[in-house]
Structure 1
Amino acid sequence: MEINELTPAERRVWDAFPRGEGVDFREHPEDSSVDGAGWGPERTVRADVLRALLLGAATAEEGRVAGLKIKGARIVGDLDLRYAVVDHPIRLRDCWFERKPLLYGSRLKALVLGYSTLPGLTAATMRVEVVLRLSCCRITGPVRLQGAKVDGGLFLQGAVIGPTTGDEAEEPPLQLNHIEIGTDIIANDLTVHGEMRLNGATVGGQVQLDRARLLTPGGMALHAETLTVGTDLRAHRLHARGMVNLTGSRIPGQAHLTRADLANPGGTALRASSCAIGELWLRHCPPIQGDVNLRRSTFDLLHVEPGSWPERIAIDGLTYRTLAPHLPPEQRLPALEREESGYLPYAYEQLGAAYRTVGDEAGARTVQLAKLRRHRGTLPRHARAWGLLQDATVGYGFRPLRATGWLVALLLTGTVAYSVTPPRPLKAGEAPDFNAVFYTIDLMLPIIGFGQESAYAPSGWYQWLSYVLIVTGWVLATTTAAGVSRSLQRQ
């Protein structure tokens, strides 16, 4: 391209490039690139001119670093840098693009498109040495960054992407699948009208989605299967309409979904199955609308209030060391009844272990008792009688004081009854002095003998009372032994 073919606006860019100086076409600092379609020739630059500069049409002045630094330009035509190797930083801030930049397979130093308006971006398998900035951009078409590699960070904060239309309507607006980021993905306040695809991505630092809005009602809002991050996934106050899918993710720090608003009615709102996460925080979240699937995941800490659980959860194989906030088990147990597979013994064992980890043995016993009661409900009618008896008498061994209460009540009943009408001695003159208390104990606890039962014989309804005391004593002794044995085995 010859220099004399340049417009005045393009000549300003051409002259500034070798020195790495900026060209600002804005009339006011608050000019918005959204209005760029109406900008005149004084702010219009052909994409071919930019391409020629980046591919060597002009060289750097001695002692200067050449680079493209433009603000507020209307860029027309195709900025086609497919497979190109560009050794200069590209900074096109507050610009309006007539067509989507084509950067497939390119090798760039740095790419900054902050506050610009674009009809899309095609940059799959692109390599960027320093940084990729799309902060506060307005992008109406798909952003294709799958397989890209950025040695520094990816910045998307405040950007609005989609909704896509026409032939691209079915395509995810933000495609970051299998991307490799050396440091962080910063996407606070991001808005995506459609799916944000992040599956298979590798991020050296953290992913920040604080206050992001991912809007795919009835579909996939965040697709982040097998995501691997170096530290944390932060999504404080995330607003998601559609499924948030973290299946198979590896997050050694925190998955921070505090105050997140997750909704996918009639489907799965949060799927974090087969994950390995240091801490999963669902703190102060409104009730999740849609199912939650945490099957086969491992957490060091699971922080969730009971009121945040939806009507159906899937927790088969879920493992966690501690559970927060620490609440009475009566507030945690109803969630286990929402398991879509029905009764899961392991879920109760896991909850009991969490209470035991923090030293709450009473809470752990309550969970074990609830487990046995739930198990009893799965048995045939004829098999429930023995469980009901153990529950009523000693709480399956986890409530041993109940046996003491029954024994004291029966002892008082027998003592009063036989004090009013003592039984007759079997051999007059040879029987020891009658003692109603020890006579009742002899009846109730046959393994202990005070010589009272063998010396006296009640009659009438007192004889029937003695039968009741004998049978009840055996039942209490048997159920207590069975329950205590079960409790000792668990400990």
Structure 2
Amino acid sequence: MEITDLTPAERRVWRAFPLDEGVDFREGADDDPEHGGAWGPERTVRAEVLRALLLGGPTRDGEVAGLKLIGARITGELRLKYGVVEHAVRLRSCHFERTPQLYGARLRVLVLSDSTLPELTAGALHTEGVLRMSRCRTTGPVRLAGAQITGGLFLDGARLGTPDTRCEQPLLQLNNAAIGTDVQAKRLVVHGTIRLNEATVTGQVNLDDSELHAPGGTALHAENLSVGTDLRAMRLRARGRVNLSGARVPRHLSFVHARLSDPGGQALRASSCVIGELWFREAAPIEGDVNLRRSQIDLLHIRPEVWPDRVRIDGLGYRSLAPHLPAEDRLPLLEREKEGYLPASYEQLTTAYRAAGDEAAVRTVQLAKLRRHRRTLPRYARAWGHLQDVTVGYGFRPLRAAGWLFALLLTGTLAFALHHPRPLKSGEAPDFNPVFYTLDLLLPIIGFGQEAAFAPRGWYQWLSYLLIVTGWILATTTAAGVSRSLSRQ
């Protein structure tokens, strides 16, 4: 392309390119690229001119060429598909009339910050440095599937899609992408789906203060995402499913102050994940189901009121829970399990309390587990379970058995003190002692010689039978509870 074929605006860009000088067409700080379609020829540059510069533009010895354009209206289609560009490409605050075609291109650096585009097609893109799209606005998808970005990806403050238009494709496509450092997307607004399936991010993914709007659909689709450090989503607002199934987040997955909402659907699916710490501190109650099946988490920080009415936590493993709360506050969650009674969930909660050194909570959880299990048994087995529960709390309430024994001992002592049973052999029986006679009836193993020497009559005889039967029941249930407790130890 000859310089004589260029407009005055294009000549400015052509002359600045060899020296990597910037050309700023803005007329004021409040210029909005969203209205750039009305900009005149004095700030209009054809895409074919930019393509000619990037693929074979003039250079000068001793200078590093580069494209640095601000506030321009770019007409036509910027076609760099499979192209190799040796120069930095910086197109800030520009208005693109058509979608840039960068599929498979190899670039040093690409900057599109504050620009407005219909869409961006840049799948399998390779950059040696960063890709900056901070505060960008698009009405259609940003296609970066399979991209190889050596530096970071910046989407802070970007707005993808519009509330009035529903896009059939994910609006941000980063599936199978490899990011050399971080994905910074604070205050990102997306009216559709973000796809991060199989993506690899060496550093962190930051979605703090972002808004994802996909009601009835998937707001964040990040199955098998691999993150080097953290996935931050503090104060995230997500309408639609957040799917992190199979994700690997070695440090923090933070939903602090977040609001997840997918009524009637699955607000959070994080099954088969490996996570260092999962934080829901000060988060709003989750609207929709939560699925954490088979995930492994070192620390789970969540208050009971954040959990929804239905959860799936079978196979969930965690080492510790925060904040530390009484077991009575944590147990209702296990009743919400969609699959019904899961013994492993009670054992996992027991393990967490045992690691915290709270043995009282351990006993409470184990007792709740046996009571929950009782509801699954036949009627005759439930009756025996009720008896064990009432008498000794399945062995976790040993003082309850002592209370029953003391009450029965007091009853028998008073009854037999008022009416001594007759001796079986006059002159050979020992002196009657109502306390030890009652103990003889209650304790099936220990004998004080009183029971065999005296025989009550009438209703006192029935009282003695009651004491004998009750003593055997208490002894049996106590032995069963102690044995169960010892086996757990």
- TM normalised by structure 2 equals 0.99
CA distance 1:50–1:164, change in 2 (3 Å)? farther
Q: What pairs up with 1:192-271 in 2 under 5 angstroms?
A: 192-271=190-269
What is the rounded CA distance, in whole Å, between the counterparts of 1:75 and 1:290 in structure 2?
44
Question: Would the aligned equivalents of 1:178 and 1:201 in 2 still touch at CA under 8 Å?
Answer: yes
Q: Deviations over 1:326-371 (max 9, x none)?
A: 1101010000000000000100010011100111111011101100
**Other-structure match for 2:181:** 183
What is the rounded CA distance, in whole Å, between the counterparts of 1:207 and 1:308 in structure 2?
24
**Other-structure match for 2:141:** 142
Q: What pairs up with 1:205-354 in 2 under 5 angstroms?
A: 205-354=203-352
**Other-structure match for 1:453:** 451
What is the rounded CA distance, in whole Å, between the counterparts of 2:214 and 2:447 in structure 1?
77
> How far off is 1:170 after superposition?
1.0
Question: Would the aligned equivalents of 1:140 and 1:164 in 2 still touch at CA under 8 Å?
Answer: no
Question: Would the aligned equivalents of 1:142 and 1:164 in 2 still touch at CA under 8 Å?
Answer: no
Q: Deviations over 1:278-330 (max 9, x none)?
A: 11111211111110000011001111110011111001111111111111010
Question: Would the aligned equivalents of 2:283 and 2:306 in 1 still touch at CA under 8 Å?
Answer: yes
What is the rounded CA distance, in whole Å, between the counterparts of 1:298 and 1:282 in structure 2?
16
What is the rounded CA distance, in whole Å, between the counterparts of 1:479 and 1:279 in structure 2?
42
The correspondence for 2:407, drawn from 396, 406, 409, is 409
Q: What pairs up with 1:92-107 in 2 under 5 angstroms?
A: 92-107=91-106
Letter matched to residue 105 of structure 1: G
**Other-structure match for 1:77:** 76
Question: Would the aligned equivalents of 1:141 and 1:164 in 2 still touch at CA under 8 Å?
Answer: no
What is the rounded CA distance, in whole Å, between the counterparts of 2:447 and 2:77 in structure 1?
103
Question: Would the aligned equivalents of 1:210 and 1:234 in 2 still touch at CA under 8 Å?
Answer: yes
Letter matched to residue 12 of structure 2: R
Q: Deviations over 1:37-81 (max 9, x none)?
A: 11111111111111111011211x232211011110111101100
**Other-structure match for 2:38:** 38
What is the rounded CA distance, in whole Å, between the counterparts of 1:40 and 1:311 in structure 2?
58
Query: Which 10-residue stretch deviates more, 446-455 or 177-186?
Result: 446-455
Letter matched to residue 255 of structure 2: L
CA RMSD of aligned residues (A): 1.1
* 2:476 maps to 1:474: no
CA distance 1:164–1:100, change in 2 (3 Å)? farther
What is the rounded CA distance, in whole Å, between the counterparts of 2:162 and 2:127 in structure 1?
26
SS of the residue corresponding to residue 283 of structure 1 reads coil
Question: Would the aligned equivalents of 1:85 and 1:107 in 2 still touch at CA under 8 Å?
Answer: yes
Question: Would the aligned equivalents of 2:167 and 2:192 in 1 still touch at CA under 8 Å?
Answer: no
What is the rounded CA distance, in whole Å, between the counterparts of 1:31 and 1:57 in structure 2?
29
What is the rounded CA distance, in whole Å, between the counterparts of 1:31 and 1:135 in structure 2?
16
Question: Would the aligned equivalents of 1:115 and 1:138 in 2 still touch at CA under 8 Å?
Answer: yes
Question: Would the aligned equivalents of 1:163 and 1:169 in 2 still touch at CA under 8 Å?
Answer: no
* Uncovered stretches (5+) of structure 1, i.e. residues with no partner: none
What is the rounded CA distance, in whole Å, between the counterparts of 1:122 and 1:96 in structure 2?
16
**Other-structure match for 2:18:** 18
What is the rounded CA distance, in whole Å, between the counterparts of 1:361 and 1:241 in structure 2?
41
Q: What pairs up with 1:144-163 in 2 under 5 angstroms?
A: 144-163=143-162
Letter matched to residue 48 of structure 1: E
What is the rounded CA distance, in whole Å, between the counterparts of 1:298 and 1:386 in structure 2?
37
Letter matched to residue 35 of structure 2: D
Letter matched to residue 137 of structure 1: C
**Other-structure match for 1:435:** 433
> How far off is 1:164 after superposition?
9.2
Question: Would the aligned equivalents of 1:68 and 1:90 in 2 still touch at CA under 8 Å?
Answer: yes
Q: Deviations over 1:205-260 (max 9, x none)?
A: 00000011110000000000000010000000110011000000011011111111
**Other-structure match for 1:110:** 109
SS of the residue corresponding to residue 422 of structure 1 reads coil
What is the rounded CA distance, in whole Å, between the counterparts of 1:163 and 1:106 in structure 2?
28
SS of the residue corresponding to residue 277 of structure 2 reads strand
- TM normalised by structure 1 equals 0.98
**Other-structure match for 1:125:** 124
What is the rounded CA distance, in whole Å, between the counterparts of 1:474 and 1:382 in structure 2?
19
Question: Would the aligned equivalents of 1:188 and 1:208 in 2 still touch at CA under 8 Å?
Answer: yes
Letter matched to residue 460 of structure 1: G
Letter matched to residue 37 of structure 1: G
Letter matched to residue 178 of structure 2: E
Question: Would the aligned equivalents of 2:161 and 2:167 in 1 still touch at CA under 8 Å?
Answer: no
CA distance 1:164–1:122, change in 2 (3 Å)? farther
What is the rounded CA distance, in whole Å, between the counterparts of 2:337 and 2:281 in structure 1?
21
What is the rounded CA distance, in whole Å, between the counterparts of 2:263 and 2:445 in structure 1?
62
SS of the residue corresponding to residue 451 of structure 2 reads coil
Query: Which 10-residue stretch deviates more, 121-130 or 168-177?
Result: 168-177
> How far off is 1:165 after superposition?
8.6
Q: Give the aligned length.
A: 489
What is the rounded CA distance, in whole Å, between the counterparts of 1:284 and 1:290 in structure 2?
18
What is the rounded CA distance, in whole Å, between the counterparts of 2:449 and 2:130 in structure 1?
94
SS of the residue corresponding to residue 454 of structure 1 reads helix
**Other-structure match for 1:426:** 424
What is the rounded CA distance, in whole Å, between the counterparts of 2:216 and 2:202 in structure 1?
31
What is the rounded CA distance, in whole Å, between the counterparts of 1:36 and 1:476 in structure 2?
87
> How far off is 1:171 after superposition?
1.2
- The runs of at least 4 aligned residues of structure 1 exceeding 6 Å deviation read none
CA distance 1:164–1:88, change in 2 (3 Å)? farther
Query: Which 10-residue stretch deviates more, 425-434 or 82-91?
Result: 425-434
> How far off is 1:446 after superposition?
2.6
The correspondence for 1:485, drawn from 477, 483, 486, is 483
* Uncovered stretches (5+) of structure 2, i.e. residues with no partner: none
Q: Deviations over 1:367-397 (max 9, x none)?
A: 0110000000011112211111110111111
